[in-house]
Amino acid sequence: MSLTSSKLFALVFLATLAATALLRVWLAMRQLHHVAAHRGVVPTEFAERLPLALHQKAADYTCAKTRLGLAEFTASTLLLLTFTYGGLLQAANDFWQRHFAPDSYAQGLALFASVALLGFVIDLPFALYRTFVLEARYGFNQMSWPLFLADLAKQGVLAVLIGAPVLLAVLWLMAAMGRYWWLYVWLFWLTFNLLALLLYPTLIAPLFNKFVPLDDVELKSRIEALLSRCGFRTSGLFVMDGSKRSAHGNAYFTGFGAAKRIVFFDTLLSRLTPTEVEAVLAHELGHYRHRHVWQRIALLAALSLDFLWLLGLLMGQSWFYAGLGVVSQSTALALILFALVLPVFSFPLTPLMAHVSRRHEYQADAYAAAQTRASELVSALAKLYRDNAATLTPDPLHSLFYDSHPPAALRIAHLHNA
């Protein structure tokens, strides 16, 4: 019965993986064809705002990113199959069991480190190509080699100092809390993520970027008036040196409670007028007013609880391991296998999450139009789409499936009607 169950699970997994791969490739091909087909003409509503050369740059940039995404997906799929049916995960488990006590915390941490390190090695060439070839080709990369290497070193140190204790705590809870360990892990994970949101702005972000108080008197006065109208209190207005890594621009607020910060990329401030910056900030405040951050946290919390409960059901089943090409059974192996295959089975949730995000963007836009002039947000968005080389003509189905923000034409049409 166990052998039959494992074969059935293997067939279900492989069929789901194949269907996911075919859908991804089909959507990518649609995107490439649609963007290329509309490359030669600027959409009518943007004809006065965007030269044809910049429209074509955005089309080429979008196609280049889509092709890179396909290559990354192919590499990650091959790595997944190597870990499972290729026997690499079982081999790594056997290796560490010869050096540590079987199923010990040390052996589990070493196994996780091996998987993470190999994943990093596979991802690194793509990161290098994206930064120093693709982004540089289209004029966006500002990253130097020393800065790139420094970022990698900092990320590695943080992964060890934060990731290792968190993983150790999860493994301990899985082993010590009995039948309902998944509930304790969920509570710990939720607490950790909320704590990270609170501490990230002041402890982690400054390790990578420099944050200085906004010193533009006119802009600061305008923003403070907007915050007062919106009833938003913040611990400060800051400018981030995003230009040392990229020419892309953005603005965001981070943290919660008394630790809320509003952060502007220096690239954003250099391109937008004070009234346009105010409109962009009003959009971000719209997310706060509609409690979008808390809604997303609640949605992710619900999904993570469901996934952990499912892992609780699977980790004691021998067919779960055997169906993925692994002979041994352990807490660490169960967690790794689940993390590896979850993206395959959860891929159908992608359009749902994208839909929720797009709905939030429309709501934030409507709030911004009520607090500032809609025309200022339209002008700011047009500049951001232009300067970030975001295509104005995405494939509708590809956009519906993936995009967290509505297409430019639809978004601006909604603002004109606000």
Above 80 in pLDDT, residue 244?
yes
Above 50 in pLDDT, residue 34?
yes
- Please indicate, yes or no, if residue 124 is contained in any of the structural domains: yes
- 134, 68 contact by CB (below 8 A): yes
- Average pLDDT in the chain: 91
Structure tokens at 89: 């995960």
Mean pLDDT across the stretch 322-345?
Answer: 95
Q: Determine the pLDDT at residue 96.
A: 94
Q: Determine the pLDDT at residue 38.
A: 95
- Please indicate, yes or no, if residue 103 is contained in any of the structural domains: yes
Q: Determine the pLDDT at residue 264.
A: 86
Q: Determine the pLDDT at residue 48.
A: 84
Residues pairing with 240 in the sheet:
211, 265
Active site residue 60: no
Up-side HSE of residue 171: CA atoms within 13 Å toward CB? 22
- Radius of gyration of the CA atoms of the chain, in A: 24
Whole-angstrom Cα distance, residue 418 to residue 411? 11
DSSP letter assigned to residue 404: S
Above 70 in pLDDT, residue 257?
no
Above 90 in pLDDT, residue 41?
yes
Whole-angstrom Cα distance, residue 401 to residue 352? 8
- Please indicate, yes or no, if residue 249 is contained in any of the structural domains: no
Above 90 in pLDDT, residue 256?
no
Instruction: Give the pLDDT band (50/70/90) at residue 272.
Output: confident
418 Cβ neighbours under 8 A, 6+ residues apart = 365, 366, 369, 370, 374
Phi, psi of 240 (to 5 degrees): -105, 140
Whole-angstrom Cα distance, residue 22 to residue 29? 10
Q: Determine the pLDDT at residue 40.
A: 93
For 342-377, the DSSP string reads HHHHHGGGHHHHHHHHHHHHHHHHHHHHHHS-HHHH
Q: Angle CA(230)–CA(233)–CA(236) in degrees, nearest 5?
A: 125
Phi, psi of 14 (to 5 degrees): -65, -40
- Please indicate, yes or no, if residue 171 is contained in any of the structural domains: yes
Number of domains in the chain: 1
Structural domain containing residue 111: 2-181+329-348
**Which residue shows structure tokens 């080709």?**
137
- Please indicate, yes or no, if residue 131 is contained in any of the structural domains: yes
- Please indicate, yes or no, if residue 216 is contained in any of the structural domains: no
- Please indicate, yes or no, if residue 25 is contained in any of the structural domains: yes
Instruction: Give the pLDDT band (50/70/90) at residue 220.
Output: confident
Q: Determine the pLDDT at residue 270.
A: 85
Above 70 in pLDDT, residue 259?
no
Q: 311, 350, 393, 366: which is closest to 41 by C-alpha?
A: 393
Residues pairing with 237 in the sheet:
262
Q: Determine the pLDDT at residue 312.
A: 94
Q: Strand 261-265 to strand 251-254: parallel, antiparallel, or no bridges (unpaired)?
A: antiparallel
Q: Determine the pLDDT at residue 53.
A: 93
Active site residue 365: yes
**Which residue in 135, 284, 361, 387 is the catalytic one?**
284
Q: 237, 279, 253: which is closest to 371 by C-alpha?
A: 279
**Which residue in 361, 365, 376, 395 is the catalytic one?**
365
- Please indicate, yes or no, if residue 370 is contained in any of the structural domains: no
Q: Determine the pLDDT at residue 3.
A: 58
Q: What percent of the chain has pLDDT over 90?
A: 68
Helix, strand, coil tally for the chain in percent (to 5) = 75, 5, 20
pLDDT, greater one: 260 or 114: 114
170 Cβ neighbours under 8 A, 6+ residues apart = 185, 188, 189, 335
User: Does pTM top 0.85 for this prediction?
Assistant: yes
Instruction: Give the pLDDT band (50/70/90) at residue 231.
Output: confident
Whole-angstrom Cα distance, residue 242 to residue 225? 26
Please name the amino acid found at residue 412.
I
Phi, psi of 210 (to 5 degrees): -95, 130
For 97-165, the DSSP string reads HTTS-TT-HHHHHHHHHHHHHHHHHHHHHHHHHIIIIIHHHTT-B---HHHHHHHHHHHHHHIIIIIHH
373 Cβ neighbours under 8 A, 6+ residues apart = 275, 279
Please give the order of strands across the beta sheet that includes 261-265: 211-213, 237-240, 261-265, 251-254
Q: What percent of the chain has pLDDT over 70?
A: 98
Cα 243 to its chain centre, rounded Å, is 21
Q: Determine the pLDDT at residue 362.
A: 95
